[in-house]
């Protein structure tokens, strides 16, 4: 029979929960360090020159990890940015179009092709189209005040597109950190589950509603 020590070593050595890839960890830590150093440079520029669009446009144009640094600062995932870009391309809202300079870059793609752009496509536009860079920065500065986005995005996501985070405001960053901690619990809460809305609607409309697990017999 294995001793407790042997069992413990088996868990540490064999259980994939504790799997550790040293090469990957070192490479990832290097990437995180590059983002941190880039953001420290931006923070110093904001402190010295004030919050200006040009600082972030230069960040996108000149730094290898410029976009990822901006996303990290605002707390926006790369996937959400790509989906939001698709929404902007698919929507004809005059105020939103003007905010992101849409007429200066959307014409570069087939208006009828609304497939989600790849990372490489977005990177090429950032590198080659100053108006696309300007539109992205304006989105992060002023997106929270746009009526269309206010109607479309959840409040938690909408608040990321405001100037507070770009100012490196400590209170805003701490608040966002705590919001992230509670986001999982919020999304799992009974009031956030689609089935609850289905049952409430069914009650108001007098339609039947059935709640059951997948795989149960009809």
pLDDT in tens, 97-126: 999 999 999 865 555 678 899 999 999 999
In sequence order, the 6+-apart residues with CB closer than 8 A to the CB of 24 are none
Residue 198, pLDDT above cutoff 80: no
Residue 207, pLDDT above cutoff 60: no
d(CA 163, CA 22): 38
Of 195 and 171, which is predicted with more confidence?
Answer: 171
Residue 170, pLDDT above cutoff 60: yes
What SS3 state is found at 21? coil
**pLDDT for residue 202:** 53
Percent of the chain predicted with pLDDT > 90: 53
pLDDT digits (tens, 9 = 90+) for 51-104: 999 999 999 999 999 999 999 999 999 999 999 999 999 999 999 999 999 999
- Enter the pTM of the model: 0.71
Of 81 and 164, which is predicted with more confidence?
Answer: 81
Residue 135 exposure: Cα atoms within 13 Å on the Cβ side: 24
d(CA 117, CA 65): 18
């Amino acid at each position: 029979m294995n001793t407790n020590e042997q069992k413990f070593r088996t868990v540490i050595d064999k259980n994939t929960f504790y799997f550790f890839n040293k090469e990957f960890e070192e490479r990832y830590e290097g990437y995180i360090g590059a983002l941190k150093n880039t953001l420290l440079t931006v923070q110093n520029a904001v402190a010295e020159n004030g919050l200006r669009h040009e600082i972030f446009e230069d960040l996108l144009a000149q730094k290898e990890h410029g976009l990822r640094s901006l996303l990290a600062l605002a707390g926006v995932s790369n996937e959400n940015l790509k989906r939001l870009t698709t929404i902007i391309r698919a929507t004809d809202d005059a105020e939103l179009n003007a905010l992101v300079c849409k007429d200066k870059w959307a014409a570069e793609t087939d208006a009828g092709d609304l497939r989600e752009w790849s990372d490489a496509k977005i990177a090429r536009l950032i590198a080659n189209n100053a108006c696309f860079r300007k539109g992205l920065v304006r989105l992060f500065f002023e997106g929270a005040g746009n009526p269309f986005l206010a109607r479309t995005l959840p409040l938690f996501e909408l608040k990321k597109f405001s100037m507070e985070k770009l100012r490196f405001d400590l209170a805003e960053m701490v608040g966002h950190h705590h919001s992230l901690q509670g986001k999982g619990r919020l999304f799992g809460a009974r009031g956030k589950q689609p089935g609850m809305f289905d049952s409430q609607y069914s009650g108001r409309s007098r339609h039947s509603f059935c709640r059951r697990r997948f795989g149960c017999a009809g």
